[in-house]
Homo-oligomer: A and B are copies of this chain.
Amino acid sequence: MLQNSVELDRLDRDIIGALVEDARSTYAEIGQRVGLSASAVKRRVDRLRETGAITGFTARVDPTALGWTTEAYVELFCVGKTSPSAIGVAVARLPEVISACTITGEADALLHIRATDVRHVEQVIERIAAEPFVVRTKSSIVLSRLIETPLITSRNGSTFVA
């Protein structure tokens, strides 16, 4: 599915930049911007999807508009030999966990959670802490969000792809 060996040229990166900025732009618009015809752009986009460089297209949603006003980061400290996949399976059950990874340092994993309010955050932490492999958790509530970008950053008009 995912081929890392595929070379991406300047044109591919510009096309990706255009799509990160607006996933609903037409191929003609992108072509005008990067200097290609619409059909040439389409063929490259198809190839970028096939090779896995582009994994999909999604709407950017304002979580607060949907009632998700509170965010927190939760560090997980686990028992001796807990596998990453065991953590993954457990946290995937909670829709409030929007990101999870294992990390270096004292903690074993770091979770990013979105909830409706602080009480909701607490409930989610309780459910995570109830997992048998979790020894303790350490949470930080987000006070103010300073930066929030799609995976690859798009700022002040221009998109930084590589």
Contacts and interface: CB of A to CB of B under 8 A. Distances in A.
Contact of A57 (B58, B91, B107): B58
A58 B60 contact: yes
A137 interface: no
Given A141-B104, A147-B91, A55 B61 contact: yes
Interface magnitude class on chain A: 35 or more
Interface string A136-157: 0011111111111111111100
Interface in A99-144: 99-105, 107, 109-110, 114, 138-144
Query: Looking at chain A's contact residues, is the secondary structure mostly helix, strand, loop, or mixed?
Result: mixed
A11 interface: no
Contact of A53 (B2, B51, B66, B97): B66
A142 B73 contact: no
Contact of A61 (B16, B24, B143): B16
A97 B144 CA distance: 16
A16 B99 contact: no
Contacts of A61: 16, 20, 53-55, 150-152
